[in-house]
Amino acid sequence: MKKPPRIVLSNISLSIITVQLPLVGLLISSPLSHAESVGHNVIEEVTVTAQRHTERSVDVPISVTAIGSEDLNKGGMQQLGDIMEMTPGLRFDQTGGFSQPTIRGVGTAVVVAGSGSNVGIYTDGFYSPNQLMADSDLLNVDSVQVLKGPQGTLFGRNSTGGAILVTTREPESDPQASLDVSYESFNTQRYALYASGGPSDNLAFDLATMLRKSDGYIENINTGSDKDGAYENWSVRTGVKMQFNDRVSALFRFIHEDVDDSNADAYNLYSKDGNVYSTAAFVAAAVPSEPPIASAPYKTSSDFKPRFLADSDVFQLTVKVDLDSALLTSYTQYRDESATHNYDFDASSSALAMSHYIFDTVDEVFTQELLLTSQSDSRLQWTTGLFYFSDETRFENNRGASALTGGAFVDNGGSGVENSSIALYGDLTYALLEDQLFLTLGARYSKDSVDNAYFLDDANNLAKVSVPSIDDSEVTPRAVLRYKASENSSAYVSYSEGFKSGILNVGRATLTGINVAPEKLKAYELGYKYSAGPLAIDLATFHYDYQDLQVAGYDGFTSVIENAADSSINGVEAQIRYLATESLEISMGLTYLDAEYDKFDRAQNWVQDTTATGLFQAQYVDASGNEMLRSPELTGNLNVKYDIPVAEGWLAIWGNLYYSSDFYFDTYETYEQNAYQLLNMRVSWTDASDTYTLSLYGDNLTDEEYYTQVLPQFFGVLTTWGAPRTFGAGVELRF
């Protein structure tokens, strides 16, 4: 579907920055006088680890959104995907439990064995590749950083759009504990416990656990159940920290997650202009006795309760060795994760359009990284490392039942792959002019392999059919020139590259040998950062050249992944924090995005057969010039924090407004999410001794109705909805 071209931002972006930089320069020239004009308010300095070591955000030539533990707690951020509401330019969508984060328009809708995400997710330095476990509980979290733009040099594979870094608290020998309990709408309950301590300064333990359960907000219009979206999720994280001497320390962690979540697969059907996009609706029009079809928000019409079960065990060991002039860190990780899906592909109770589907996934991951970072005060600072990754993924026991099988479950095959990668990287920063002008050059060499791939054909489900292996190697460089105008400001221009690893089609014999090449992205960014007195400003403008996009489609009833699109992305981004008084802090973020497909002549549009079967079939169309999927033109948030002394304690008022303009869930611009906003507020009171906190809160206070996913397939266009308005109360005790 060709459209008139949208505004090209590459020139506009530069103009905006050109206008803004002199204005900010006025602040730089006299930061003391500006601070004095509002008293002595100094905004809290933000430190990040975007370049694999701790440094001030103002000195980092990367666009970063950093969210601390206070904002995570006050904002009610319970899962990683919740940070979308506080991060401009980020979307965190899901398809049946598969998380699909998108940063600045760079994301994926591909779900196949071994595919992975375009956004790297790291917890305490460890890579988490499994899309099914990406939306993890924010358990014992100290901060979350969202790095925007390709991070191919320092973080490597599958960080094309950026990286999300989660940092948790480490064990401390001083005894401490906290208990957090909350209750909210839909019988939603949350219990979180944290404890830490140790016998000496050289040995410490901690334990964090969380239970979240709810009846959910989904009602089944056919069975009468109001628990089709119920969930009960439990997680635990425990750690042991050992300080062997002044130079050597080790931290061992074990993390377990147990997920029983119906909401992830509680689909209903997309409707527009009175038309329900559904095979079951087509059947119901001809057979009046057929049960009703749900398309309204928070309703479903399935004839059974969907279920998503997941289980994860993670073992991590971090060893640090101080070598005086450098710090050597070893990251060793093993992950064993599995999941089961049971969902209704036609989202109805129709016997004539019935399509049930069950499948299991198993994922085993081993990673080892050696990171060496300089610690000297010389003009040359450097980081180098070696990374190894192994991932065995299997889609097992795929079973389906439909009207064609008389309701009996039959095998639908399965597939599996083994991904491995080894990478060597280095990053150097040299002060061309001491304390003023810095040049950074970095590169990463990665060699990826996909081996032992197979599929189980429907007609021969007992025998594995092998798929030829593939090998790819990539070099992802970066170059940055940063000018430090003062201790409180810096400007930078950067070039960086990222890639998403190649994958195999593991669907049918006809696809054997049809490999999918890596995606590649080249990014150009101009940015400015300032932080002094009560004010912090981050500005950036960027251009992406995005090649060989991996896209999912269908050939008949067979899933096909191919490199079918090229695109260009331009944008402007701003983040501002202002400490108006000692009690009032205001922050805002805004991303303006122009993301479209330059060439996409094999896009797919799902068209319903309205003459015979009512099934939907995918047709190839030209989507060149269309907006990229899940890429709203404008996203932003406004956050207000106000703290005042009340009744021998502190009253904190917190509010966050998130806004997204309209966007599409498909490449042919058929399935649209209109513009929407989410308003969350929290009021809490903490006693003078900081022993306990009482809270009242509300989320989605304007009761917005919005999709979290729209998924076209053969039996209809499935949808899931974001949570409606909820209210809650909580208490936190600290010991």
Is 236 in contact with 211 (CB distance < 8 Å)? Answer: no
Residue 69 host element (H or E): helix 69-74
Render pLDDT for 353-367 as a digit per residue (tens, 0 to 9).
Answer: 667 778 888 899 999
Pairwise CA distance, residues 576 & 379, whole Å = 31
- Per-domain residue ranges of the chain: 9-13+21-203+212-252+261-734
Q: What is the pLDDT of residue 354?
A: 66
User: Mean pLDDT score of the chain, rounded to an integer?
Assistant: 87
Q: Which residue has the higher pLDDT, 569 or 98?
A: 569
The predicted pLDDT at position 258 comes to: 94
Tokens for 605? Answer: 């549009």
Q: Which residues have CB under 8 Å from 574's CB, separation 6+? A: 537, 538, 539, 540, 588, 589, 590
What whole-number percentage of the chain has pLDDT above 70?
88
Radius of gyration of the chain (CA): 26
Q: Quickly list DSSP for 89-152.
A: TEEEEEETTEEEEEETTB-----STT---SEEEEETTEE---GGGSS-B--SEEEEEEEES--T
Closest CA to 641 of 713, 587, 704: 587
pLDDT at 618: 84
Please tell me the distance from the alpha carbon of residue 624 to that of residue 130, in angstroms, as a whole number: 31
CA–CA separation, 385 vs 423, rounded Å? 8
Report yes or no: 156 and 383 within 8 Å, Cβ to Cβ.
no
Rounded distance between C-alpha atoms, residue 118 and residue 53, angstroms: 23
Distance CA 356, CA 715 (A): 11
- Confidence (pLDDT) at 637: 96
| Average pLDDT of the residues in 624-644 | 95
Give one DSSP letter per residue of 235-276, joined into a string. EEEEEEEEE-SSSEEEEEEEEEEEEEESGGG--EE-EETTEE
The beta-carbon contacts of 431-434 under 8 Å, at least 24 apart in sequence, are 431/379, 431/380, 434/379
- pLDDT at residue 19 is higher than 50: no
The per-residue pLDDT for 560 is: 75
Region 296-308: what's the mean pLDDT?
Answer: 89
Q: Angle at the Cα of 658 (from 700 to 494), degrees rounded to 5?
A: 155
* Residue 470 per-residue DSSP state: E
Locate 348 and state its tokens: 């109805």
Give the pLDDT confidence score for residue 427 in this predicted structure.
97
pLDDT value of residue 511: 55
pLDDT tens per residue, range 99-116: 889 999 998 877 766 677
pLDDT score for 34: 37
SS3 727: strand
Q: Do the strands 414-433 and 437-457 form a parallel or antiparallel pair, or are they unpaired?
A: antiparallel
* pLDDT (0 to 100) of residue 461: 55
Rounded mean pLDDT, 551-566: 73
Checking if the pLDDT of 205 tops 90, the result is yes
**Burial category of 324 from C-beta neighbours within 10 Å (exposed 0-12, middle 13-18, buried 19 and up):** exposed
Q: What is the pTM of this model?
A: 0.91
**For residue range 376-397, what is the model confidence (pLDDT) as tens digits?**
889 999 999 999 999 998 877 6
What pLDDT is recorded for position 465?
A: 75
Does position 27 have pLDDT exceeding 80, yes or no?
no
Residue recorded with tokens 């979307």: 91
110 vs 99, 128, 553, CA distance in Å? 11, 17, 9
Cβ-proximal residues to 190 (8 Å cutoff; 6+ apart), any chain: 78, 180, 181, 182, 183, 210, 211, 212, 730
Task: Give the pLDDT band (50/70/90) at residue 23.
Answer: very low
Query: What's the CA gap between 557 and 349, in Å, rounded?
Result: 22
Stretch 141-152: mean pLDDT, rounded? 94
Tell me the CATH number for domain 9-13+21-203+212-252+261-734: 2.40.170.20
Instruction: Give 26-47 as a 3 state SS string.
Output: HHHHCHHHHHHHCCCCCCCCCE
- Distance, CA of 242 to CA of 89 (rounded, Å): 39
CA nearest 658: which of 64, 65, 82? 82
Q: Which pLDDT belongs to residue 18?
A: 43
Query: Quick check: 399 and 409 in contact, CB under 8 A?
Result: yes
